[in-house]
Amino acid sequence: MSSRRSTTIAGSLVLASFSAVLILSVPAGADDQGPGSGKGGKAVDKAPAGVRLTTLLPERISVDNGSQETAITATVKNEGTKDSEDIRLLVVGFDGLTVKNVEGCTAIAEKDLPEGSNSGFACPVDRLAAGASKSYAVDATFDLDKTGKICLPVQTRDGKKTFWQQGPVPFGTTNPSPNAPATPLLLGTDNAPVTPAAPAAPGELPKTGVGRDVLPLGAAGASLLAAGAAGLWWSQRRRPQS
């Protein structure tokens, strides 16, 4: 993906603090997400000494075949020995996965989304104590006729540094269930669309895992600017031309 010049958001992001783990508000998949996984994650800019920020996504989600609704828990953790500075978590959807809401977070304007993404929210985390974590309820839809990916960057509050980025990592299944009430999707698996597709070449195995669908950090373009501060930057980002 090529980079494009960022534009200024009308109005500043709401920088509210959160003191409790948020509860999922969409029932689909809420009770059967399995353990959290950092699959597709990578450290980017160097964090302060003693701070180690990571994220987790569920290993599986369940998509309602009628409404296409699903629920995802996005978690940010400080696995270090010292408290972090003020940070924020971004939740960004790609392709068939569209982020509809993240409780307590602010939607990123369409014009400010990274190129190739379809939706995104910015979640102010503030300081995260050593050993602590904070989870967010993500309401989303997943078009089972497409592949779908999600990305979780963890940044400084002003967005100038990205300490960690998970994804874009796919959810999917190689065994669609069009006649079932819901379709289970696994993290790190390319989705096999429900609609008929050309048969695979003889001996060709289904493509699973993060593999080709994990973008090089920095490949998703556009930046998010808020109140004079740099916003959504991906690792290995290109510097804007003066």
Asked whether residue 235 is domain-assigned, the answer is: no
In the numeric block, the tokens 């978690």 are attached to: 75
Asked whether residue 70 is domain-assigned, the answer is: yes
Asked whether residue 111 is domain-assigned, the answer is: yes
Q: Contact 140/100 with Cβ under 8 angstroms? A: yes
Q: What's the pTM?
A: 0.69
The tokens describing 97, both together, are 């996965």
Q: Give the total number of structural domains in the chain.
A: 1
Give the per-residue pLDDT at 148: 97
Q: What proportion of the chain, given as a percentage, has pLDDT over 90?
A: 60
Q: Contact 233/160 with Cβ under 8 angstroms? A: yes
Asked whether residue 200 is domain-assigned, the answer is: no
Task: Return d(Cα 110, Cα 107) in angstroms, integer.
Answer: 9
Give the per-residue pLDDT at 114: 82
Q: Domain containing 21: what range?
A: 7-194+208-225
Domain CATH code at residue 83:
2.60.40.10
pLDDT tens per residue, range 158-206: 989 999 999 999 999 998 888 899 999 999 999 998 655 445 454 444 4
pLDDT tens per residue, range 100-148: 999 999 999 998 888 899 999 999 999 999 999 999 999 999 999 999 9
